[in-house]
Structure 1
Amino acid sequence: MTNTILIIDDESAICEALSGILADEGFASLTASSAEEGLHVLEEKDISLILLDIWMPGMDGLEALRLIKKRFDLPVIMISGHGTIETAVQATRNGAYDFLEKPLSYDKVILSVNKGIQLARLKRENRLLRESSPSENSITGNSPAVLRLREQIERVAPTDAWVLIRGGHGTGKELVAQTIHRYSARCKQPMIAVNCAAIPEELIESELFGHVKGSFTGATENKKGKFDQANGSTLFLDEIGDMSLKSQAKVLRILQEQKFERVGGSRTIEVDVRVLAATNKDLDEEIDKGTFRADLFYRLNVVPIMVPDLLDRREDIPLLVEDFSNQFSRKGLGRKKFTDEALYLLQRHSWPGNVRELRNLVERLVIMTGGDHIEAADVALFLGNAPLQPPPAPVADSDYRLLSFKEARRQFESEYLLARLRENDGNVSKTAEQIGMERSHLHKKVKALGIVVK
């Protein structure tokens, strides 16, 4: 996406000259002849950097700089025809990225602009990295269900197709959305997330489309909406099934046209937004009940992805527990190891809260359990009388025809290795010697398959 530079200067000749040199370097530019006009443009347009004159009629550049840094996270380069060291210092203290004196050296202007945009991009990327670490934002597991999920993500992520992500509470739908965005061409911009269930119906328009100052009680200044913020990037509509019918109608029009007006405004704004939506509800059932619009469902459901329940991927539980334990260790909660018996008990739990429930339980156990190991008794204490699932039954020969080759092979390997390990009371070295496999290879295979010997 082309970077747009806003030039705020009351001298039209300076604006024209700067616009020309910026165009030669591949930048788009907008101009404003006053600080007040420039602030209005910032409310309406996506700007990458600002060139701001200090001495102007009305509001001066230093006052405008304070307002810009307060309301917008953008690099500002100050320009002045009669600047002093004191003025430059004051501008820098107020958050200016650079200070250039007139007559302007266009080489210095371009150099400063390029560095300012690069710095802004690095700050944004750094912020995203701080907000997330790879281990906390990757889909953990090697079960057939997770392998299928990863394959779907790998196929759809590089495209601009819209995706409807469905699954139960706590399955990781937002994580799937983040992964799709991270592997898309839009990943240089942050994904904008909206929890549709958390926004009151009367505020949904303002939240999504923005509003102009004075459009309703409490609208004390112009505000960009989520669609504006996601321009050129990805908009994630979480819990879309909880949106009211009235709000659904408004969103549908915007999704179809990619155009909207802010609340209280008259100017049409066009955006380029990829939409990912998620819900834990059965939308087909909601459509039959009349609580969800069929046309909105078909607009969103270009590529459907179903996130499996934890119960359908129990073999991933040891890997998830290890992942969570490492995360909590990095946060200073200490490193603790779960025994095989404890993991076995976790794999038999029904997990109505899915991965979120498992993560919470692991954190609780790490905090509340003494010692370096977490035993089955510790797990049983915190699970209480929660229902357990019986161990998975072996697949009958006739049932293998229902599985893909990869699934059938995985099932056979799991049953075969579990039986041999049980014969040797869980002794990996002895089992490896008997079946003609390297001990390290068998250990990795057992871990990957989530085999727990009891």
Structure 2
Amino acid sequence: MSTGTTILVADDDRAIRTVLHQALGRQGHTVRSTGAAATLWQWVQEGEGQLVITDVVMPDENGLDLVPRIRKLRPDLRIIVMSAQSTLLTAVRAAERGAFEYLPKPFDLNELVSVVNRALSAPAASITRTAQPVEEGERLPLIGRSPAMQEIYRALARLMATDLTVMVTGESGTGKELVARALHDYGKRRKGPFVALNMAAIPRELIESELFGHERGAFTGAVQRSAGKFEQAAGGTLFLDEIGDMPPEAQTRLLRVLQEGEYTTVGGRTPIKANVRIVAATHRDLRRLIQQGLFREDLFYRLNVVPIRLPPLRERLDDIPELVNHFLRTATVDGLPTKVLSPDAMTRLRQHRWPGNVRELENLVRRLSALYSEEVIGLETIENELADAILAPEADAPSGSVTSTDATLADAVDRHLQAMFAEHGDRLPPDGIYDRVISEVERPLLSLALGATRGNQLRAARLLGLNRNTLRKKIKDLDVPVVRTPQVRRGG
């Protein structure tokens, strides 16, 4: 039975038109479909339809160019854009031109039906967009067409026209700053400055001054007034990287800024209006830090307005070929020779665990471009490059084991210490806990270094940054097994 709702579908692929016609027809909708943008525009001018679903690439016109014309003529007409050009810029362009939603191809039919239902029931105000236009020819800030990345693109596209605070989480090397820059470069504050501050790189006693600035004479060495990052980022975006390393005093002051919208410099008395969008990022588990009393819970909720989790590379291995080709092209722009990877070499890259994530892959590609003379990089070269890499633990590691997905070394040590204290209940563990923990870390580290250098203690000492005699003493004291490389006898 018809609901009285007519949906206009424009796609040059007959199979997609047929699938949409059948799926939406089963929902009770009347569907009119065409393979030409001109026909769709004619229907819109005639007042047809309550919803438009359009492809981007069509024979006679780009579907994205049609969206603002439709919105101008019929502002209440919802538009869903679908495209095989599944990039962040496609999602952003669809949003800033007024589309209700963007769906990458191939799409899930159930998801499309759900989006259609939301679009038909949404109030008109929900489809208003005020994002700044995206300039043509801009380089892609994020690379990948995997489902995980598509969800991120869609979320970012919705956020471009807002000033909402965003918390980006993910392992080191996943591209958290790229997300922050994308939010700035394609958002409403793109004409303002982008200012970044890494909490882990600043001495704790200087973070407040770095953030809020200081007045002359505020502390020893403050010989003149200095503007902080909030002042430098006025009208733009302030990216607070490694927010989990922010000391408690600075957390309190940042919370007040988020609550009151103003701050004072260190040593100052006059409130200054905070005019920034804040994007925070961390590779640490902030909820665990809250439990340990190291991070303010109220600050967490102020920062975590919109959480975005960046997946590790091992969760989007299908993106590796596109990432590799992008980094190879970037290398040629920087003056390095043109390279390509053989199919089996590319397959081998997709089998690696990538503990260093996209950053590790980028470094490998640049190394391949710079150090190897052959134009086509083969499997043997990749095998040699990955031979000494420290692989991440398998995804099916037993519960409680340390994986790069949910733990850094600091997190692993923390869990170990928590378990150590828990074993003794209300009693403290035996004295000497410091030496015990150090030895537990040192022994496997030395063993790993010796294994990587095949028992060569001189090379292992260099790898560890130790004196050779110091390494020998530690090997003896910690009873570290040394497996030496057997000598090959020459002659008969």
Residue 220 of structure 1: how far off its partner (Å): 2.0
Q: Is the 8 A contact 2:195 2:232 kept in 1?
A: yes
Are the structure 2 counterparts of residues 207 and 390 from structure 1 closer, same or farther at C-alpha, using a change threshold of 3 Å? closer
For 1:175, what is the secondary structure of its paired residue?
A: helix
Which one of the candidate residues 286, 295, 307 is aligned to 1:292?
295
Quote the Cα distance in structure 1 between the aligned partners of 2:347 and 2:391: 11
Matched, 1:154 2:157: yes
Matched to 1:281, the amino acid is: R
Which one of the candidate residues 350, 353, 357 is aligned to 1:350?
353
Matched, 1:280 2:300: no
1:308 alignment counterpart: 311
- Which 4+ residue blocks in structure 1 deviate beyond 2 angstroms? 385-392
- Per-residue CA deviations over 1:381-415 (Å, capped at 9, x if unaligned) read 011144779999xxxxxxxxxxxxxxxxxxxxxxx
Which one of the candidate residues 307, 315, 321 is aligned to 2:324?
321
2:271 alignment counterpart: 268
Quote the Cα distance in structure 1 between the aligned partners of 2:379 and 2:214: 56
Are the structure 2 counterparts of residues 303 and 214 from structure 1 closer, same or farther at C-alpha, using a change threshold of 3 Å? same
Identity value in percent:
48
For 2:316, what is the secondary structure of its paired residue?
A: helix
2:229 alignment counterpart: 226
Which one of the candidate residues 359, 377, 380 is aligned to 2:380?
377
Normalised to the residue count of structure 2, the TM-score between the two structures is 0.51
Quote the Cα distance in structure 1 between the aligned partners of 2:252 and 2:392: 43
Which one of the candidate residues 319, 336, 341 is aligned to 1:333?
336
Which one of the candidate residues 223, 228, 241 is aligned to 2:244?
241
Which one of the candidate residues 202, 207, 212 is aligned to 1:209?
212
Are the structure 2 counterparts of residues 199 and 287 from structure 1 closer, same or farther at C-alpha, using a change threshold of 3 Å? same
Residue 335 of structure 1: how far off its partner (Å): 0.6
Residue 158 of structure 1: how far off its partner (Å): 1.2
- Per-residue CA deviations over 1:169-220 (Å, capped at 9, x if unaligned) read 0000000011111121110112111111111121111111111122222222
Quote the Cα distance in structure 1 between the aligned partners of 2:276 and 2:394: 46
Residue 244 of structure 1: how far off its partner (Å): 1.6
Are the structure 2 counterparts of residues 283 and 256 from structure 1 closer, same or farther at C-alpha, using a change threshold of 3 Å? same
Q: What is the total number of aligned residue pairs between the two structures?
A: 260
For 1:223, what is the secondary structure of its paired residue?
A: coil
1:143 alignment counterpart: 146
Specify every segment of 5 or more residues in structure 1 that has no aligned partner in the other structure, as ranges: 1-128, 393-454
Quote the Cα distance in structure 1 between the aligned partners of 2:221 and 2:390: 50
Q: Is the 8 A contact 1:258 1:273 kept in 2?
A: no
Quote the Cα distance in structure 1 between the aligned partners of 2:154 and 2:353: 26
Q: Is the 8 A contact 2:339 2:377 kept in 1?
A: yes
Quote the Cα distance in structure 2 between the aligned partners of 1:325 and 1:272: 39
In terms of fraction of residues, the more helix-rich structure is 1
Quote the Cα distance in structure 2 between the aligned partners of 1:255 and 1:204: 17
Matched to 1:186, the amino acid is: R
1:430 alignment counterpart: none
Are the structure 2 counterparts of residues 233 and 378 from structure 1 closer, same or farther at C-alpha, using a change threshold of 3 Å? same
Normalised to the residue count of structure 1, the TM-score between the two structures is 0.55
Q: Is the 8 A contact 1:339 1:376 kept in 2?
A: yes
Matched to 1:216, the amino acid is: F
Q: Is the 8 A contact 1:157 1:183 kept in 2?
A: yes
Q: Is the 8 A contact 1:209 1:226 kept in 2?
A: yes
Quote the Cα distance in structure 2 between the aligned partners of 1:264 and 1:183: 36
Quote the Cα distance in structure 2 between the aligned partners of 1:238 and 1:227: 14
Alignment of 1:23-422 (within 5 A): 134-135=138-139, 138-386=141-389
Quote the Cα distance in structure 2 between the aligned partners of 1:342 and 1:252: 49
Mean CA deviation greater in 339-348 or 206-215 = 206-215
